[in-house]
């Protein structure tokens, strides 16, 4: 019998290690998928690399051989090639750095369908896939022979960037290119070079709605190559088929969202992270990993070139480029030499005030006139408001009642089309009451503005204009987003109202005006990253205007704000990211914030806020003890527990505690010890439902 280590997903409170030992009649290569007994059930597992594969240790005095007998592996999925050693190393690094178990990370990043199949079922799937792949390959070859795509001429900046990367040893590069500068063409040329060298390319995008557009570009450029996508909108069967194609080397190109960073690729040569600054690359539950940071690590691990592309890089990435850690490549001109949109900042405090009882003005007169001029010329305008629904809250004018959520410390949003009050945190939904639930007053009014209300107001202000809205509410049905985007591209929309989902990555050729209707809410929050996020969002939104060279000269960005003197808007008017980043980094360094410090958050949830806080206070004392024993007490700061911005969600009170260090090493050493001691506190704080450590949190 052969002894093997197997990574299985065990509960964090079980006290079991990262891997468990089993025995097998046949030697099993590391990376082999297996099914093993755990308790009273069989669970999926992965044979994990081990230095020692000898038999079980001999029993100590007083223990019988039965006490140390290993359970046998129930089944090995021998039809599937083992996961490569580099994949196991990536998973192990992720588990260690983000303080999760190896088994949890390893199994959670596999396709759910794969975890359910036995070897016979998997072999059948693979045979069917091979037949389809053969037919599809014949079709791709015929298509490639019939229509080789004509390559567009490179701009001087694109040529310079590609020349700098050609022949360079694998490394991580930052591509800082303004919106419309042709970063996608650089990605295509680099992918072409990787494929010509017999390698595979992995392209990451922040959101699913960007996948179809980019996928179409890659399919058109590489008609003889197989491209697969990986994201949560796929069916389980599609996700498994695409994952298998990548793992078995049948797919040349993989395009996906953050989870695709764990896709096994035996010939990986290129990783592109498009819009690398986007917070969507950070996982917000389970193992809270950053796909962008793991892309950098994976590139180094597998000798692959990594390209981080953005018009507004994250301050961490920009800092690494400033200090020489990442070579920086710049594309400061748009394709066709068109100018960036001119930016107009409107002081809303100086605009005409509405009559008593009338709602606040949706569009300033100057902005309204500018949109009307676009409609008359057959051009398009995009209005950005990052708040969906009709109004953020309903309010009783008699007793002051507001549409709060009974399960969350947040308001329920008024959605006018279906007459509902909907909590965007826990999804609790009720019909809008006919009268105030507290006093019976019939006069309950919406307060504030969401995209649904803005769409209605614009329709009233611009009679005859074709107004459309794209947000999470209008794109729920499968295929609806593609249909709405197609209508915009076809010129069937004059004014598009949307949330952040339409402000990045889309190539709207007819849009010449973009307006941020109400960005002030993002300026003043407790989160130190708020200005960075808002500047990136506004810069990305501005980049939707004037992308076609023939209309670039008259493209504009309008910002309606009550704080026109804020330095963020001055940098936006000049399209000066470097100036904004320098001021933000100076503030961060003075305050001891990332990238000049390293953070972790311990979060706890309980029905009772005192229970959650008690758990965190006990954890804080435990951490102090560990820090002193490890000799890093002077290098670690442990702050008191505090509530987050939304303290209660779905009936659970949430509290968090910040851990800070100027150096990454001491923080990681503390966390590695601390994570094993925290389960022991649950017996003293039994009301705690869940807790989690978030390394490098995006929000605090």
| Residue 292 near residue 320 (C-beta atoms within 8 A) | no
Please tell me the distance from the alpha carbon of residue 570 to that of residue 576, in angstroms, as a whole number: 9
Token code pair at residue 208: 């699913």
Does 408 belong to an annotated binding site? yes
Please tell me the distance from the alpha carbon of residue 282 to that of residue 280, in angstroms, as a whole number: 5
Please tell me the distance from the alpha carbon of residue 91 to that of residue 394, in angstroms, as a whole number: 47
Closest CA to 470 of 447, 446, 493: 493
The position carrying tokens 């759910």 is 112
Strand order in the sheet with 172-177: 227-230, 253-256, 200-204, 268-274, 305-310, 172-177, 328-331
Burial of 350 by CB count in 10 Å (0-12 exposed, 13-18 middle, 19+ buried)? Answer: exposed
Token code pair at residue 536: 């990136």
| Residue 626 near residue 677 (C-beta atoms within 8 A) | yes
Does 426 belong to an annotated binding site? yes
| Residue 205 near residue 274 (C-beta atoms within 8 A) | yes
Please tell me the distance from the alpha carbon of residue 455 to that of residue 390, in angstroms, as a whole number: 9
Does 439 belong to an annotated binding site? yes
Does 263 belong to an annotated binding site? no
**Residue 63: partners with Cβ closer than 8 Å, 6 or more residues away:** none
Please tell me the distance from the alpha carbon of residue 389 to that of residue 473, in angstroms, as a whole number: 8
Q: Are strands 380-384 and 511-516 parallel, antiparallel or unpaired?
A: parallel
E strand or H helix at 330, and its extent?
strand 328-331
Does 396 belong to an annotated binding site? yes
**Residue 576: partners with Cβ closer than 8 Å, 6 or more residues away:** none
| Residue 281 near residue 210 (C-beta atoms within 8 A) | no
Q: For CA atoms 474, 478, 479, 481, give the dihedral sign.
A: positive
| Residue 282 near residue 207 (C-beta atoms within 8 A) | no
What's 441-502 look like in SS3? CCCEEEECCCHHHHHHHHHHHCCCCCEEEECCCCCCCCCHHHHHHHHHHCCCCCEEEECHHH
Burial of 172 by CB count in 10 Å (0-12 exposed, 13-18 middle, 19+ buried)? Answer: buried
The position carrying tokens 């930052």 is 174
User: Residues comprising the binding site?
Assistant: 396, 399, 405, 408, 423, 426, 436, 439
User: Residues comprising the binding site for Zn(2+)?
Assistant: 396, 399, 405, 408, 423, 426, 436, 439
């Amino acid at each position: 019998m052969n002894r093997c280590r197997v990574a299985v997903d065990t509960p964090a409170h079980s006290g079991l290690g990262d891997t468990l030992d089993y025995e097998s009649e046949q030697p099993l290569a590391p990376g082999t998928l297996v099914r093993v007994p755990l308790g009273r059930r069989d669970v999926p597992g992965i044979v994990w690399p081990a230095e020692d594969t000898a038999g079980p240790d001999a029993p100590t005095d007083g223990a019988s051989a039965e006490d140390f007998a290993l359970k046998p592996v129930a089944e090995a999925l021998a039809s599937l090639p083992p996961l490569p050693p580099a994949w196991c190393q990536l998973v192990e690094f992720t588990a260690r750095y983000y303080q999760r178990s190896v088994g949890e990370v390893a199994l959670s990043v596999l396709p759910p369908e794969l975890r359910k199949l036995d070897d016979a079922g998997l072999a059948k799937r693979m045979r069917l896939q091979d037949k389809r792949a053969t037919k599809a390959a014949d079709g791709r070859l015929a298509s490639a022979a019939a229509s080789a795509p004509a390559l567009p001429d490179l701009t001087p900046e694109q040529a310079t960037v590609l020349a700098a990367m050609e022949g360079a040893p694998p490394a991580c590069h930052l591509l800082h290119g303004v919106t419309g500068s042709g970063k996608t063409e650089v990605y295509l040329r680099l992918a072409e070079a990787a494929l010509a060298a017999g390698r595979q390319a992995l392209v990451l995008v922040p959101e699913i709605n960007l996948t179809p557009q980019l996928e179409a570009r890659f399919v058109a450029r590489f008609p003889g190559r197989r491209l697969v996508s990986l994201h949560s909108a796929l069916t389980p069967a599609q996700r498994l088929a695409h994952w298998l194609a990548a793992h078995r080397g049948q797919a040349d190109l993989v395009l996906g969202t953050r989870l695709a960073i764990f896709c096994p690729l035996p010939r990986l040569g290129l990783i592109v992270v498009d819009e690398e600054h986007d917070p969507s690359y950070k996982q917000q539950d389970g193992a809270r990993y950053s796909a962008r940071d793991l892309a950098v690590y994976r590139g180094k691990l597998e000798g692959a070139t990594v390209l981080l592309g953005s018009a507004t890089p994250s301050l961490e990435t920009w800092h690494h480029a400033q200090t020489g850690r990442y070579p920086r490549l710049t594309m400061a001109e748009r394709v066709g030499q068109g100018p960036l949109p001119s930016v107009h900042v409107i002081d809303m405090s100086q605009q005409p005030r509405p009559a008593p009882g009338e709602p606040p003005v949706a569009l300033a007169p100057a902005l309204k006139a500018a949109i009307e001029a676009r409609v008359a010329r057959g051009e398009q305008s995009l209005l950005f408001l990052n708040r969906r629904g009709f109004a953020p809250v309903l309010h009783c004018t008699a007793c002051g009642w507001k549409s709060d959520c009974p399960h969350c410390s947040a308001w329920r949003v008024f959605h006018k089309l279906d007459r509902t009050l909907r909590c965007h945190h826990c999804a609790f939904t009720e019909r809008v009451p006919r009268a105030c639930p507290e006093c019976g007053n019939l006069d309950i009014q919406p307060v504030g503005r969401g995209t649904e209300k803005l769409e209605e107001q614009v329709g009233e202000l611009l009679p005859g204009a074709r107004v459309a809205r794209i947000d999470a509410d209008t794109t729920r049905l499968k295929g609806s987003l593609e249909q709405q985007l197609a209508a915009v591209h076809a010129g069937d929309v004059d004014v598009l109202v949307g949330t952040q989902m339409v402000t990045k990555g889309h190539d709207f050729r007819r849009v010449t005006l973009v307006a941020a209707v109400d960005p002030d809410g993002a300026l003043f929050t407790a989160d130190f990253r708020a200005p960075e996020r808002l500047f990136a969002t506004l810069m990305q939104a501005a980049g939707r205007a004037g992308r076609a060279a023939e209309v670039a000269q008259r493209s504009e960005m309008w910002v309606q704000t009550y704080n026109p003197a804020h330095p963020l808007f001055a940098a936006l008017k000049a399209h000066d990211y470097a100036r904004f980043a320098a001021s933000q980094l100076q503030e961060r360094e003075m305050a001891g914030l990332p990238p000049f410090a390293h953070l972790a958050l311990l979060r706890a949830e309980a029905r009772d806020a005192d229970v959650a806080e008690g758990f965190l206070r006990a954890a804080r004392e435990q951490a102090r003890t560990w820090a002193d024993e490890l000799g890093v007490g002077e290098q670690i700061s442990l702050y008191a527990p505090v509530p987050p911005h939304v303290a209660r969600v779905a009936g659970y009170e949430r509290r968090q505690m910040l851990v800070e260090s100027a150096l990454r090493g001491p923080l990681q050493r503390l966390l590695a010890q601390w994570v094993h001691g925290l389960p022991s506190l649950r017996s003293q704080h039994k009301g705690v439902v869940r807790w989690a450590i978030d390394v490098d949190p995006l929000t605090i």
